[in-house]
Structure 1
Amino acid sequence: MNHPSLFNDFLRDTVNLNETRVKDLETSIEAIKEAVRTSDWKPHLNGWMAHGSWAHKTIIKPVDGREFDADLIVFVEHVDDWSAATYIDELYQAFRANATYKDKVNRSSHCVTISYANDKKIDVAPCLTNRTNALEVCNRSTDRFEQTEPKQYTEWLVKKNGYSGNNSFRKVTRLVKYVRDIKERFTCSSVLLTTLLGYIISDDDQGSAAFADTATALKTVFGRLDDELQKHTTKPKVTNPFLQSEDFATAWTEDQYQNFRDRIHTYREWIDDAYNEQDRSESIAKWRRVFGDEFAKGVAIEEGKSVSKALVASVRTTLAEASQFTGDLVDAIKRFGARVLPASFDRKSYMEAPKWKTSGQNISVIVRADLHRNQYGTQKVREVQALEPLEPGYWLQFKAVTSTGLPFDPSDYKVMWRVTNTDEAAASHNELRGNFEKPESDNSRWESLKYRGVHLVEAFVIRKRDDRIVGKSPAFRVMIE
């Protein structure tokens, strides 16, 4: 499913740089320009240009409170006898002489950087307009001038965004950057990533259904990118479309490229799976596998919290004998039986989607639960059945067995447990869970009985030699009074 409203909310609330920080950035940029204009820096100024993610409108909110970067080009005329390094060094000294920036400035190979503590960094890069017939940036490390085409490159990306329609290219680029930064599973600079994505969009895409909404555009772009990467078993060149000598992939190592290629292939599979899934809760869970728990976070929490209210309301309208019922879900099950639970009850949008691939096997897996007074107790009280009313304060030991009752050998198999709580009591303690949990040494899992409601425990059997799922149990429904 494509969930257009959820994607819009996710972009607005989590991915996009918020408007307050954008305005603050613009204020800082103007102050930097004024500082350079009034400084003793010798070059004649010919103008300014936003560059990079800021100019391309693909900048995202930094994750985990990190700083974000913005790039600013200052166009200047050549100063006789100045080398490439001199432009950077003298601009650095000009900022050092300014009381506002003297403790915020650093220099690197191509720019001077102004750092604002725990907020942002602004890179100011000199670009010569008249030393030769081409625009040139300054490489302080090699003390050489390097040809560049920032204006045409930015215009190229603007065209690509126009071809995709609905601002799709920019939205997709932001989402891919978010995945890169939040997951930290692959290395790819922003300019390299943006260029790769730009190359796979053409004027033929104008008005295409392949870019009908954000999720569809994301599916299209990842599919095309994966197809292109699979053609290249070794690192390809990724050149500036207006400057063939500029290869954005130069800094990539071969290992980094191979990892990027593999990760994009995996994400393509996950995105296709989430997009094609027709069950709403399952689809949301699969999109959360791609983007993490911030995607549809509010929707997922509300779903878990309101389980009892939603189902009891349904019971009142579907069961004639329940029209006057006033209890909660636990009361409803005790009175009317398991029929009040729909099959969809076992699927929740906040459940973590499996990251392991399936093996093609489908071994039958059954969950058994033993009641204990204490964790790791040697004497069980009894074996319990699904939806058997249980008092809080006890412990359950869960075991995964085959259809013949045999356990899975820990030397060959690992049993990962997905434990999902529901209803208001668990939600109020921020304990809806839904993630995968590691087993004990014997592949069992101990859980305490805490929150009133109906909760779900599932066993996923992973074959160790290839890390693939060979079997999954039905959900064992635990009911706590």
Structure 2
Amino acid sequence: MSNCHDLFIKFHDDEIYLKSDKKESLRKSRNALRDKIKKYFSEELDVKKPKFYGQGSYMMNTTVTPIDGEYDIDDGIYLEHLKDTDEGDWPTPSTVHSWIVKATKGHTSEDPVDKNTCVRVIYKANYHVDLPIYIKKDDQSPKLAHKSKGWITSDPKALTDWFKGEVQTKGDQLKRLVRYLKAWKDYKENDTKFPSGMILTILAANHFVSDYPDEDDAALVATAKEIHNTLSESFSLVRPVVPGEELFDNWSETRRTNFLNKLEDLVKKGGEALENQDKTEASKKWRKIFGSRFPEYQPPKDENKGSNSAIQTNSAAVLGNHGRSA
């Protein structure tokens, strides 16, 4: 049985992990936008400056380097000048969106995009910043300005805190598994619509298999198998924090079946890689899952061709449904 944990770590560290220089560049762009928005509220609207809370994968530290697409940052804007007013007196979501559009217009060469849930600012360097807008009264959960649904309960900070708690309990391997799942999505999505990164993150945390702390390959297969088995029985996922909605509520039967098939393919091909006696061949199977960014194993030139010592796992054989099997 081949152990490709070292190749997974190389794939993680060299190819998909967000590098510190890129993280700093994204942070600077985010902060420049914050300054521009605060200036607009102070000078143009003559109201109290909003506060900001980062959210999503950037704050969870699960962002991955995309193959060809854009990096994204989610930065929540909290309207301080409205938090002590009654909800019935709040402006419409379209109105508060228009403030952010005006505040950010001209910041980059492309005009901001006014979406239902946020205002998106697009940068030429293959990334964008999404700016959802909230009002949070001191004794209530935040409300998101949704252009088609109105002011709806949403607490992304609570979700970030929840995930950080999961990592604290289960270890940093959980974050790596989330990144692997996102990299798999990036390579495999094509015509099949995958779940969002947020949904993949919650699924990984809910179904994390802790039996393989030093074997990311086996841990990924075991966790993916748990996700597949659970969704096959009941295709349901509830957000673990308020508002606690069903996250698969609007999924069609076709989309559900397609995602289950993709998960089954990941488990099948990953299981074949785990069972392969030849580490080079095992790495080729992983490349079918992640693409050419995943490293292909090259045996040392002086390796004894009659021995498998360089490719054997030190782990005991595992019986059952998870990871490697005897």
**TM class by shorter-chain length?**
0.7 to 0.9
Distance 2:169 2:229 in 1: 20
The aligned residue for residue 136 of structure 2 is: 129
- Encode CA deviations 1:396-438: one digit per residue, 9 max, x unaligned: xxxxxxxxxxxxxxxxxxxxxxxxxxxxxxxxxxxxxxxxxxx
- Provide the aligned C-alpha RMSD in A: 2.6
Structure 2 residues not aligned, in runs of 5+: 309-326
Task: Provide TM-score, normalisation by structure 1.
Answer: 0.57
CA distance, structure 2, for counterparts of residue 294 and residue 91 of structure 1 = 38
Aligned to 1:60: 64
> In the TM superposition, what is the alpha-carbon distance from 1:271 to its structure 2 partner?
1.2
Matched, 1:20 2:21: yes
Residue 182 of structure 2 corresponds to which residue in structure 1?
Answer: 177
Which residue among 82, 85, 100 is the counterpart of 1:91?
Answer: 100
SS of aligned partner of 1:6:
helix
More helix by share: 2
How far apart are residue 215 of structure 1 and its match? 1.8
The whole-number CA distance in structure 2 between the counterparts of 1:147 and 1:255 is 29
1:43/1:248 Cα in 2 relative to 1: closer, same or farther (>3 Å)? farther
**Secondary structure at 2:107's aligned position in 1?**
coil
SS of alignment partner, residue 63 of structure 1: coil
User: How far does residue 254 in structure 1 lie from its aligned partner after superposition?
Assistant: 2.1
2:212 aligned counterpart, secondary structure: helix
Between Structure 1 and Structure 2, whose CA radius of gyration is higher? 1
Overall identity of the aligned pairs, in %: 21
- 2:33–2:104: 8 Å Cα contact kept in structure 1? no
Aligned pair in 2 of structure 1 residues 221, 241: CA closer, same or farther (>3 Å)? same
In 1, Cα distance between equivalents of 2:48 and 2:236 = 36
CA distance in 1, matches of 2:133, 2:243: 21
Query: Deviation of residue 310 (structure 1)?
Result: 5.1
Equivalent residue for 2:78?
A: 75
Partner of 2:118: 111
- Over residues 453-475 of structure 1, what are the superposed CA-to-partner deviations in whole Å (9 max), with x where a residue is unaligned? xxxxxxxxxxxxxxxxxxxxxxx
Correspondence for 2:158 among 146, 152, 156: 152
Q: Deviations over 1:139-177 (max 9, x none)?
A: 1133x1000121221111112222322x11111111111
User: What is the rounded CA distance, in whole Å, between the counterparts of 2:104 and 2:62 in structure 1?
Assistant: 28
The CA deviation at 1:246 is 2.5
Change (3 A) 1:87 1:255: same
Letter in 1 for 2:95: T
- 2:240 matches 1:241: yes
1:42 deviation in Å?
5.8
**Cα contact 1:74–1:126 (8 A) shared by 2:** yes
In the alignment, which residue of structure 2 is the partner of 1:381? none
Distance in 2 of aligned mates of 1:224 and 1:43: 50
- Matches of residues 33-432 of structure 1 in structure 2 within 5 Å? 33-39=34-40, 40-41=44-45, 44-45=48-49, 47-64=51-68, 66-77=69-80, 78=82, 80-96=89-105, 99-101=106-108, 103-130=110-137, 133-142=140-149, 144-165=150-171, 167-184=172-189, 186=192, 187-201=194-208, 208-232=210-234, 236-297=235-296, 299-300=297-298
Whole-Å separation in 2 of the counterparts to 1:158 and 1:268: 26
Q: Select the structure that is richer in strand.
A: 1
1:38 shift after superposition: 0.9
Report the counterpart of residue 29 of structure 1 in structure 2.
30
What SS does the aligned partner of 1:60 have? coil
Quote how far apart the aligned CAs of 1:132 are: 7.5
Q: How many Å apart are 1:178 and its aligned residue?
A: 0.8
CA distance in 2, matches of 1:44, 1:278: 65
Q: How far 1:284 moved relative to its partner?
A: 1.7
- State how far apart, in whole Å, the 2-side matches of 1:12 and 1:21 are: 14
Q: Distance in 1 between matches of 2:35 and 2:73?
A: 17
Q: CA shift at 1:343, angstroms?
A: 11
Secondary structure of residue in 2 paired with 1:176: helix
